[in-house]
Chains A and B, each alone.
Chain A
Amino acid sequence: MRNTTALSSLNEKILHFLFIGFILFVGLGIDVQSVQGSSVSSLEASRKFTVSGYIRDMATGETLIGATIYVENLKVGAVTNAYGYFSLTLPEGDTTLRISYVGCMTKEVTIQLNKNITLSQSLESGQELDEVIITSTRTETGITATQMGAQSIPMQQIKSTPNILGEADVMKTIQLVAGVQSGSDGSANLHVRGGAPDQNLILLDGTPIYKVDHAMGLFSIFPPEAVKSVTFFKSSFPARFGGRLSSVVDVRTNDGNMKEYHGLFSVGLLSSKINIEGPIIKDRTSFNINFRRTYADLLAKPFMKGKDTQLGYYFYDLNAKFNHRFSDINRLFLSVYHGRDVFDSEINEEEDEGYGDTEKSTNSGHMNWGNTVVTGRWNYLISPKLFSNATVAYNRYKCNIDAYANINYYRDGAIDKQYVHSLYNSGIYDWSAKWDFEYMPSPTNNIKFGFEYLYHTYEPEVNGSSTLFETGGETTTTKSDEDTDNSRIYAHEMMLYAEDDIKVTDHWQLNLGIHASMFEVSNKTYHSVQPRISTRYQLDENWVAKGSYTIMSQYVHLLSSSLLAMPTDLWAPVTEKIKPMKSFQYGVGLYYTGVDGWEFSLESYYKTMTNVLAYKPGAGFLGSSENWEDKVVMGDGRSMGLEVTARKTQGSNTGWINYTLAKSDRRSGDNSINNGNWYPYRYDIRHNFNVALTHKFNDRWDVGASWNFMTGGAVTIGVQQTQIITPNYPYDYYNSDTSSTYAKVDEWHVEEASHINKRNNYRIPSSHGLNLSVNYHKKKKHGESVWNFSIYNVYNAMNPAYVYIDESSTNDGQMNRVIKKTTILPFIPSVTYTYKF
């Protein structure tokens, strides 16, 4: 067994080297002749100067992420970074820059370049999603990027994609990207290329978020009104990202209008939202505040009046951002996110215990959980070619549960009282500091480097309780509060990275990166060095080929009850016994842009994972973190797939259609699961087909539609019944041979049990569903009103959220077992009114 493992490890290493060799040298070999006489070479000949600055929206003063600055005659360009900054070093002379951005009018600026120039420009909003020619090595997403598997999700697409109760949702739109699955119907989880939901690095203004959903996974914490841009990576991750295996979702929030005060309020069936933005000091300081709250609790209240059971649930989000521009060299940002889910319950019961005795009880509970994130960032331009961003952040996820039981026993005219209070706390607290640098020495090189330090405090679980008994006038009190400090785990995490995006020739681009990380917990230190290599080759005007090889490492695990995103799901760090997870991903892709306004891509990947956790048979994680290491087993994972996407990026119809053929499975490191053989991953979705479309009829009407089909994942259920042999001990057992109630213990008998021959033995049925939304816009005197009518699951497909065995007895006493599926999201219409001013 050991020899086999060693051999397999050796094979894996050889495969890695061959693949890297292929990417580096095949590309070089193809293009070695085309280097001569290229425009790249000509750039080196004359004196050079740098033009740099910010690109902003003319109306709001917001910096634009991903705006393109292109020099037609030199065929070089740059793209603004996450802070709207660009730098382009060009030969001396008159130069015309074409500046463009999706949804804005393209602008041309001619400059005389005989010295370094700072050029900040504002773009005017366009009426249509006009064509934007993105021709730069700098962009990290799309076909022109060196990276593959990276996509910028247009905010317009997010806002137009219909969703449950009209709540446009960032994560739900990402679920429509090829290679991404939601797992179960309605969930906001992301399963990217066979990965688990805890393998996604979800960043809010650069800070990792641990709990990204509300309502146990139905909604994400990102209201689109507060979001400026969303970038999604599923392979060839830029070197600055690390700490998760399967994907990166980089969410940036709105900075706030620098020119005027604006806002919106929105009233829907589920929630109401308000967004206000404006300048504090015009063109210097601005703010953006967004608040959302649901009111299911308020709507349900009248129906529960006078009832024995009182339930209430709501969630809210507050996003606030302030920024101050000292100059084009210095800029300061402060962003705050605070969101909570709150659930209250009270149950009054009265039970007649016979003989005139009565038990009256009141059980009440208060649960609240959510994130608080505070991020401070400082942009500093060290030189026109060297941009820096320093970030300090505090991030907290906390779950509190308080439960009370007040029981009165009425017996023989006397009252015995019992009062119980119990509490449960868990959380994770991070302090982090990082400094990122971007050095742009020439249009053919873009170098990024930096470091990050995180101080983690894990508070996996703190329980406490107090009980008071009052009997016959005597009172007994017991109290058990666990010491919070003792249950905390402290960890240090450090990362260093560097990457260079190189335009080797006119046709060939290369992105070489390295990410090194260190994680120290409980006197145990882990290190990891992760190379990131991507290459892009322009085969001809319309065809592009890409390849990538990426290693990722992860030091935290989410202990969850797998079905729902429970508030008690716990993040736990690696330990001496539980090693960090690692993934090795290979990808190749072919892209075509020959049809006007369309992009076509075919990507395939093969990903292996090590030290992936799986729950041992019978293990349960509902709220318990104690001895969690004993409940899991480390093992391997592998996934492979083929993704075909057609994207329409221009005109009144935009959106995408994609199909994914994938396979993902797992294997335990010992024989505890499926005798150590490969078994399908729970979210092994073989076929997945998505359509996401928006159409704008005119200024008043636009529609959005999404349709999804996916084959079922795999679950473990006993479809048949079997017998197991067991000793009589310890149950009372009627022995018909001896007519004794108690039998001798060294006797054996058989009992009925579920027949489960392997993990994830049952395929749940396929899911599909159509969602539609229609927006009606009307200009008002002081703004614009928007009516949104949406229908989730238009044709009421009964998609399974989960399946289970239901056992019942027939009239003749026979057992009847059936498999049942539960659908939680049937046909749901909704209407939302929004007023923008």
Chain B
Amino acid sequence: MKKNITNYKSLSLLVAFLCMLLASCTKEIPFDKNKEKPILIMNAVVDATQTSHDVFFALTDRNSPISVTGDISLTVSVNDKEIETITAPTEKNKITFSCVLKAGDKLRLQASDRQEHQVIAESIVPQEPKGVLTLRTEDYSWESNGNKKKGLKYFVDLDDPSEELTYYRLNSEIKMDKYLTSDGIKDEMNYPRWINTILIVDDVILSDGHPRSNPDSEDYDLMGTMDYDPNLMGIFNNKRFKNSACTLSYVISTDEMQSNNYYTGFDSAYGYSIDYAATVHVQRITAEAYKYFQLLNKLKSDNYSEMINEPIEVPSNVTGGTGFVTCINGISATNITTKPF
């Protein structure tokens, strides 16, 4: 890692040195008011396994998106049939609607504000994965800078054979509960301790062909950037397992979870154990959403800088404004593992 930073410094210094020699100077260009009229933003990810759904609204602006003034009117239609129209103030820039959706339904959201901004977006609810989803785990350890680290490796067996190119999103959450091993009484928690940082290591599907040997191994190039974007959104497709089942895997660092939650060595001395209650969601997403999440992977990656990378145009499927509306549909599986400190 150090080597890459050092090389990067050399190149940066070269640029800086030449600019210095040529006495560069910077000046502000006035914004063109005619080209920056605000437009309405509408965003929603509608999970067909839920009945309550949030739609987020705002207006684009030069400095930061601004709240919509006054009420917003949202009309929800399913399969071209109007379900409900909600007119509400947008204090939290959010309107919640209730609706039961099933695979193949066409959801249409139409919204307008008092300034006569009007936006429309449509999305089809994908099929949910057809087969069975199971979640297994085993102990996992690795070396990092001479230190041994502990973790859990989870295996997700997904049986969703499909001839067509199918897109998915995987997310996992792990809830920790601490209790005395001797009496089995769970520690009182002020708030739930959810951990959702999963490490994609040697899984070819989830890493899109970039498996790593070790959760801490970083394949950096000359400029100190990784050769690929980490799959922060957990998206994948069935290119590598068309018409068959597959097993996905990921790792969590139990050391990191414990230290992040202020569990100390004293807990071990008193004979505490921890329940790791892991839930995995595998959702089918649309091709449009896959592209959207791919670009979010880039946008949120440490690799990305607007100065040196080609800027990202985040896709919009909202007509009349901007934003992204999509439906997802998934299944879940749970695994609870108890580990002593």
Contacts and interface: CB of A to CB of B under 8 A. Distances in A.
A719 B27 contact: no
A696 interface: no
Nearest to A465: B3
B225 interface: yes
Please classify how large the interface on chain A is, using the bins under 10, 10 to 19, 20 to 34, 35 or more: 35 or more
B26 A820 contact: yes
A156 B320 CA distance: 58
Contacts of A186: 22
- Output the residue of B6, B21, B43, B300 with the most chain A CB within 10 A: B6
A718 B60 CA distance: 11
Contacts of A215: 18
B339 interface: no
A806 B63 CA distance: 11
Contacts of A622: 11, 222-223, 225, 308
B130 interface: no
Contacts of A347: 9, 13
A826 interface: yes
B183 interface: no
Contacts of B228: 627
Contacts of A675: 315
A482 to B, nearest CB: 12
A618 B193 contact: no
A726 interface: yes
Interface string B218-254: 0001110101110011100000000000000000000
A718 B193 CA distance: 37
A627 B227 CA distance: 8
B310 A617 contact: yes
A311 B31 contact: no
Contacts of A18: none
Given A725-B43, A756-B311, A816 B63 contact: yes
B197 interface: yes
Nearest to A674: B313
Contact of B11 (A566, A744, A757, A806): A566
Given A564-B15, A726-B296, A620 B196 contact: no
B126 to A, nearest CB: 16
Contacts of A345: 9-10, 13-14, 17
A746 interface: yes
B6 A740 contact: no
B58 A750 contact: yes
B129 interface: no
A485 B115 CA distance: 65
A825 B38 CA distance: 36
Interface in A742-775: 742-746, 748-750, 752-759, 765
Contact of A405 (B2, B17, B191, B323): B2
Interface residues of B, number: 87
Nearest to B191: A740
A616 B310 contact: yes
Contact of B27 (A418, A461, A821): A821
Contacts of A826: 23, 25
Interface of A: 186, 215-216, 218, 296, 300, 311, 313, 343, 345, 347, 363, 365-367, 401, 403-405, 418, 420-422, 424, 461, 463, 465, 467, 561-562, 564, 566-568, 615-620, 622-624, 626-627, 671-675, 716-730, 738-746, 748-750, 752-759, 765, 798, 800-801, 803-806, 814-826, 828
21 contacts: A311-B13, A345-B10, A403-B6, A403-B9, A463-B222, A618-B298, A620-B225, A620-B310, A622-B308, A623-B223, A717-B311, A719-B31, A721-B63, A722-B314, A725-B56, A729-B232, A749-B56, A753-B314, A757-B313, A804-B306, A814-B63
Given A422-B2, A424-B222, 19 more contacts: A216-B15, A311-B13, A367-B10, A401-B10, A403-B10, A568-B11, A617-B311, A618-B299, A622-B308, A671-B291, A716-B310, A730-B232, A745-B281, A750-B56, A754-B312, A756-B314, A815-B63, A818-B28, A826-B23
Interface of B: 2-4, 6-7, 9-11, 13-15, 17-19, 21-29, 31, 35-36, 38, 41, 43-45, 47, 54, 56, 58, 60-65, 93, 171-173, 191-198, 221-223, 225, 227-229, 232-234, 281, 291, 295-296, 298-300, 303-316, 322-324
Q: Which 3 A-B pairs have the closest CB atoms?
A: A422-B3, A365-B10, A618-B298
